[in-house]
Amino acid sequence: MAGVASTYDEPVRIAVIGGTGIQSLPGFTLAASLKVDTPWGEPSSPISILHHPSPSTGKPTPIAFLSRHGLHHELAPHEVKNRANIAALRSIGVRTIIAFSAVGSLQEEVRPRDFVVPDQIIDRTKGIRPFTFFEGGMVGHVGFGDPFDTSLAKIVRRCGHSLEGEGVRLHDTGLLICMEGPQFSTRAESNLYRSWGGSVINMSALPEAKLAREAEIAYQMICMATDYDCWRGGPDEDVNVEMVMGHMKANSENARRFVGAVLDELSKEEHGQLVLAKHLEGQMKFAGAMTHKEARGPVEQKLQWLFPGYFD
């Protein structure tokens, strides 16, 4: 990009991952566009560093923005460069991610254009996406009982509620089904997920959330419903891309306001420790050091890159 810096000297702590219909975050000042190479390859898109004025100090807080499906939505859900995305964000200092996703609703009360802050996930991906940093000679296990960061979730919910009455409808919790795709579900699958108590469905939460946890990054997804999948009506009402994009476009202003409110709040000094994910710091030093030094395989070098000093 002509005239835009390709480096950024300060660590960037907060990132937004944009999904379907959110390939950029207008209204912020573009300070740099970074091409980060990682041992897992290049991320889905260059990382934009945006300046966001902190409401408490007035100083600009840098925010990293990454477009999950590429700058022009060229990556299918199973082609998203999840490991490179998370590794690249961690390498520039990111410890908090707000991820955005267009989802199908599995419940009547979750209406198209409603927002949901999910608190649980059921994994219905098919194991074809690379889903861990810990393979190829170093074994690591990390807790995932709460797949989203519970402290971050509280802030996100508060911000969403502050916009209620201005066109934003928010559901505080939800069970997110993450399916493989790219084809949408069958009616039988959609009804099965409803019988499990599923609230919403997408194709992108995993392995993104798992990799963020492995990378010691606090992660919360904000979902926006765009359809009722295929359980509710006849074939005429089934989800299709036009429907998803139509609702995303019509409600994009609210989505941006929601993300903006969360960034305003996270930029406050009082959230400094949370934004640095101090509660997760160091967990992989032990979880990832299971494999005896002499027995480690070639992945060790990659993990040294991701966690400098952890596995010396």
Ligand X SMILES: CSC[C@H]1O[C@H](OP(=O)(O)O)[C@H](O)[C@@H]1O
Ligand Y SMILES: Nc1ncnc2[nH]cnc12
186 is in an annotated binding site: no
Q: Which stretch binds ligand Y (CB under 6 A): 120-128, 153-161, 210-218, 223-231?
A: 223-231
Q: Which helix (H) or strand (E) holds 224?
A: strand 218-227
Q: Is the Cα torsion angle 145, 148, 151, 156 positive or negative in sign?
A: negative
Residue (106 or 275) nearer to ligand Y, CB: 106
Instruction: For residue 146, indicate whether it is catalytic.
Output: no
Listed as own residue / partner, the contacts of 285-293 with beta carbons closer than 8 Å and 24 or more positions apart are 285/310, 285/311, 287/140, 287/141, 287/142, 288/134, 288/138, 288/140, 290/138, 290/139, 290/140, 290/141, 291/137, 291/138, 291/139
Rounded CA-CA distance 312/308 in Å is 9
Catalytic residue among 123, 227, 236, 312: 227
The three-state secondary structure class of 212 is: helix
Number of residues that bind ligand X (CB under 6 A): 13
Cis check: omega of the bond before 207, within 30 degrees of 0: yes
The one of ligand Y, ligand X, none whose footprint includes residue 15, by CB under 5 to 8 A per kind, is none
Instruction: For residue 229, indicate whether it is catalytic.
Output: yes
Say if residues 102 and 20 touch (Cβ distance below 8 Å): yes
**Contacting ligand Y within 31-70 (CB under 6 A):** none
The one of ligand Y, ligand X, none whose footprint includes residue 83, by CB under 5 to 8 A per kind, is none
Side chain identity at 229, as an amino acid letter? D
227 is in an annotated binding site: yes
Verify binding: residue 231, ligand Y, rule CB under 6 A. Answer: no
Among 14, 97, 138, 201, binds ligand Y (CB under 6 A): 201
Verify binding: residue 101, ligand X, rule CB under 6 A. Answer: yes
Catalytic residue among 37, 229, 236, 264: 229
Residue 306: which of 1, 39, 60 has the closest Cα?
A: 39
Among 168, 203, 277, 299, binds ligand Y (CB under 6 A): 203
Q: Binding pattern to ligand Y, positions 95-114, x when CB under 6 A? A: -------xxx----------
In the complex, the smallest distance separating the C-beta of residue 152 from ligand X, rounded to whole angstroms, is 18
Residue (39 or 246) nearer to ligand X, CB: 246
DSSP string, 64-100: EEEETTTTTT-S-GGG--HHHHHHHHHHTT--EEEEE
> Which residue ranges make up the annotated binding site for phosphate?
20, 68-69, 101-102, 204
Catalytic site positions: 227, 229
Q: Which residues bind ligand X (CB under 6 A)?
A: 19-20, 68-69, 77, 101-102, 181, 202-204, 241, 244
